[in-house]
Amino acid sequence: MDYMVLYSSKTGNTKKVATEVFSALPGMSKDMQSIDEYRGKEADVFFIGFWVNRGTCDMSVIDAMSKLHGKKVALFGTCGMGSDAQYYKSIEKKVNVWIPDDCEYLGMFLCQGKMPMQVRENYEITREDPRQEACRKKLLHNFDEALFHPNDADLADARAFVERVLEK
């Protein structure tokens, strides 16, 4: 098998990007599975998708990545935070550290993904503290923007990422 796309997705955003990554991969020697259904099928190149959970990926992703040896590994993911290069870099550092040293790391693609309405309700609670007003407004604005992601432009960026990875 040339390519394996593995993903963890709680609410579907990362699955949407995973499907785009899968479709951008050339040839027939490829597969896509959720991390929960993955049983160790071999491939030369792994594209591992994760959703950002408190600044990093969830345990199932760490588990799957840690077991890869001698593979090429590219990461992709979605998070609530809109494009913030510094924040995205910090996530990359926290996640790619779990890729074993005998694998070749090929880079990461991250885009924004909508969040559950519960998160917005939590921002509303902080309304009672006027000192947090500016921060609350920023978070609400980010939340509302996230509702439209991943959008077509994100999927095009994911596709371009795959093309860059394949050139390596």
Binding site for ligand FMN (CB under 6 A): 9-14, 51-55, 78-81, 113-116
What's the angle, vertex CA 19, arms to CA 25 and CA 5, rounded to 5? 60
By the 10 Å C-beta count (0-12 exposed, 13-18 middle, 19+ buried), 138 is classed as exposed
Which residue lies nearer to ligand FMN by CB, 81 or 166?
A: 81
Which residue lies nearer to ligand FMN by CB, 8 or 46?
A: 8
**Beta carbon of residue 130, minimum distance to ligand FMN (angstroms, whole number):** 25
**Beta carbon of residue 15, minimum distance to ligand FMN (angstroms, whole number):** 6
Which residue lies nearer to ligand FMN by CB, 53 or 66?
A: 53
- Residue 76, token pair as written in the block: 């992709």
Which residue lies nearer to ligand FMN by CB, 30 or 80?
A: 80
**Beta carbon of residue 70, minimum distance to ligand FMN (angstroms, whole number):** 28
**Beta carbon of residue 69, minimum distance to ligand FMN (angstroms, whole number):** 26
Please check whether residue 113 is in contact with residue 76, taking contact to mean a CB–CB distance below 8 angstroms.
no
Place of tokens 């074993």: 100
- Residue 10, token pair as written in the block: 């709680």
Place of tokens 């955003």: 13
